[in-house]
Amino acid sequence: MAKRILITGAAGFLGSHLCDRFIKEGYSVIGMDNLITGDLKNIEHLIKEKNFEFHHHDITKFVHVAGDLDYILHFASPASPIDYLKIPIQTLKVGSFGTHHCLGLAKEKNARILIASTSEVYGDPLVHPQNEDYYGNVNTIGPRGVYDEAKRFQESITMAYHRFHGLETRIARIFNTYGPRMRLNDGRVIPAFIGQALRGEDLTVFGDGSQTRSFCFVDDQVEGIYRLLLSDYSNPVNIGNPDEITILDFAKEIIKLTGTDQKIVFQELPQDDPMQRQPDITRAKEILGWEPKVSRSEGMRITYEHFRSMSKEELDKREH
Ligand code: NAD
Ligand code: UDP
C-alpha cells in the first residue's frame, strides 16, 4: 500500500513542487489549500493522477481527512511580505489555529508531521550566518511580526506536541527559495526583478541594496525537506543555500541575465527588513547528508525561462 501524505498549501509555490515529488516517489498525496495566495494552475497537471486528490479547505477551520495518514507536510501560509502585510490576521491564524489543527490531525492519525518554518524566526539577525541555536531578533509589534511570530508560535506548539504527546515532528527553517511557479506579482524580490525586466521597467531596489539574502533553488529545497521528513531528527534544521549576495549586486545579475538595459532605482527600505541573511547549514549536512547542488546562475536561468514563457497578459496582470 502506498504511504499517504497530506500537504497543506498544496496549490502554492513550494507545496505544488512537494506534491510533484511525493507523487513521483509513489506516495498517495492529498493536497489541501484555500487558494488565498495559491493557484490551482500549479497542480492542474496532477489532477489526472490516481494517487492525487485535492481538498479545497481553509485550515484555520477544523481539518478532517478520512482514512489513514502516514505523514503531514504543513506548508499553508502566506509567505511573501506583500501577502502577509495585506492579510495579517489570516497569516497569524494559519500559523496558530491552522498549525494546531494540523498537529491535532497528526495526533489522531498517528502521523509524522513536518512544519514549514522560516529564516524569519531569526528576524533581523545579530548573528551571522544564522545557526539553529540562535534565538533571533524579531520586532513582535512591527508589520512583519505577524508572520515571524506566527512561525515562532508554530515551532513552539510543534515542540509542545512532540514533548507532551510524543508526536513525531520535524521543523524545517526554510531560507529564501525560488523557482518556477512563484507568483510573478507576489512582491518577492526574484519575481519582482524578473517581471520588471520583462516589462521594460526599472528595477526597484529597496534601501541602498546593501542588505543580503541567500537564494536556494526549489529542487534543492524539496530534496532537503524530503530528507528531513524521513529523518529521525526533531529539532529545527536550516534548509537553504549559503551563497549570499547583496540585493544591489543581485539586481545587476538580473540585468545581465535578462540582457536588458534596465536602470536600477532606489526606494524606501520596508520597516524591519532584515539586513543580512545566510543559513549555516552544518546541521543539515551532518544529519541529512544534504547540501544544495544548483548554483544561482543555473537556478536563475531556469526560473527566468519559466517567466519568459508567460503571455503579455499574464505579465501585465497587477495585484497591488
Ligand atoms: P505560497 O503563497 O506560494 O503558498 C502558500 C499556500 O498556502 C498558498 O497556496 C495558499 O493559498 C495556501 N494557504 C494560505 N493560507 C491557507 C489556509 N488558511 N488554508 C489553506 N491553505 C492556505 O508560498 P510558498 O513560498 O510556497 O511558501 C509555502 C510555505 O513555506 C509557507 O508556510 C512559508 O511560510 C514557507 N516558507 C517559504 C519560503 C520561500 O522562500 N518560499 C521561505 C520560508 C518559509
Ligand atoms: N526587495 C527589493 N526590491 C523589490 C522587492 C524586494 O529590493 O522589488 C528586497 C527586500 O527589501 C529584501 C530583499 O529584497 O531586502 C528580499 O525580499 P523578499 O521579499 O524577496 O524576501 P524577504 O525579505 O522575506 O527575505
Give distance in angstroms: CA of 177 to centre of ligand 1. Answer: 12
Q: Model confidence at 147, in pLDDT bands (50, 70, 90)? A: very high
d(CA 58, CA 94): 9
One-letter amino acid at 239 equals: I
d(CA 116, CA 75): 5
147 among known catalytic residues: yes
Q: Are the C-beta atoms of 25 and 13 separated by less than 8 Å? A: no
Q: Which has the closest alpha carbon to 77: 151, 152, 161, 136?
A: 151
Could you tell which of 118, 138, 213 is best to mutate to test the pocket of ligand 2, judged by most ligand atoms within 8 Å of the CB? 213
In this prediction, residue 202 carries a pLDDT of 96
Q: Model confidence at 138, in pLDDT bands (50, 70, 90)? A: very high
- The ligand placed nearest to the CA atom of residue 276 is 2
Q: Which three cell numbers stand for residue 189?
A: 524580490
Q: Residue 168 — φ and ψ, nearest 5°?
A: -80, 110
Could you tell which of 6, 13, 92, 149 is best to mutate to test the pocket of ligand 1, judged by most ligand atoms within 8 Å of the CB? 13
Q: Are the C-beta atoms of 113 and 170 separated by less than 8 Å? A: yes
Residue 42: is its pLDDT beyond 90?
A: yes
Q: Are the C-beta atoms of 175 and 279 separated by less than 8 Å? A: yes
- The ligand placed nearest to the CA atom of residue 83 is 1
- The ligand placed nearest to the CA atom of residue 125 is 2
Give distance in angstroms: CA of 136 to centre of ligand 1. Answer: 21
Give distance in angstroms: CA of 17 to centre of ligand 2. Answer: 22
Residue with the smallest CA separation from ligand 2 atom 12 is 273
Could you tell which of 247, 264, 303 is best to mutate to test the pocket of ligand 2, judged by most ligand atoms within 8 Å of the CB? 247
pTM of the full structure:
0.98
Report the share of the chain in percent with pLDDT over 70: 99
Give distance in angstroms: CA of 273 to centre of ligand 2. Answer: 8
Report the share of the chain in percent with pLDDT over 90: 95
Q: Model confidence at 13, in pLDDT bands (50, 70, 90)? A: very high
In this prediction, residue 76 carries a pLDDT of 98
- The ligand placed nearest to the CA atom of residue 89 is 1
Give distance in angstroms: CA of 188 to centre of ligand 2. Answer: 6
Distance of CA 267 to the CA centre of its chain: 25
Pocket of ligand 1 from Cβ distances under 6 Å: 8-9, 11-15, 33-38, 58-60, 75-79, 94, 98, 116, 118, 174, 176-177
Q: Are the C-beta atoms of 35 and 43 separated by less than 8 Å? A: no
Q: Model confidence at 319, in pLDDT bands (50, 70, 90)? A: low
Atom of ligand 1 nearest to the CA of 58: 19
Query: What is the residue-averaged pLDDT of the chain?
Result: 96
In this prediction, residue 315 carries a pLDDT of 80
d(CA 122, CA 125): 5
Give distance in angstroms: CA of 9 to centre of ligand 1. Answer: 5
Q: Model confidence at 310, in pLDDT bands (50, 70, 90)? A: confident
ipTM, interface predicted TM-score of the complex: 0.98
